[in-house]
Amino acid sequence: MEVRQCAECGSCYCIEKHHVFGGPNRKISEKYGMVEDLCPTCHRGNSKEKKGIHFNKEMTLRYKQKHQRLFEEKYGHEMFMQLIGRNYL
């Protein structure tokens, strides 16, 4: 059995899947593996401390850049731009 771990803090508690490119690109993220395992705190934060990835622009950009690089190594920049429509590098 695979142990899932938060990509941000290393926690193994209640891991959630974060789609790096959300909204209209959520299915693309799923199809091409542009997802990260995050614990609830690193993913959604909580009502008092808005520190999860959905509130942290620097963390969001870091993961978008990581997955753009990985995608482009395999499929190229043109295909990334066709699918996602924005350059994060």
| pLDDT by position in tens, the chain (length 89) | 678 999 999 999 999 999 999 999 999 999 999 999 999 999 988 767 778 898 899 999 999 999 999 999 999 999 999 999 999 99
Asked if the structure places residue 43 within a domain, the reply is yes
Does residue 58 belong to any structural domain of this protein?
yes
38 falls within a domain = yes
Residue 8 lies in a domain: no
Within-domain flag for 89: no
The residue range of the domain holding 54 is: 16-84
CB-count burial class (<10 Å; 0-12, 13-18, 19+) for 56: middle
> Quick check: 15 and 39 in contact, CB under 8 A?
yes
Structural domain count, the chain: 1
Is residue 77 a part of any domain in this protein? yes
Distances (CA, A) of 44 to 14, 52, 55: 12, 5, 8
User: Which DSSP category does 35 fall into?
Assistant: E
- Judging by beta carbons within 10 Å of its beta carbon (0-12, 13-18, 19+), is residue 18 exposed, middle or buried? buried
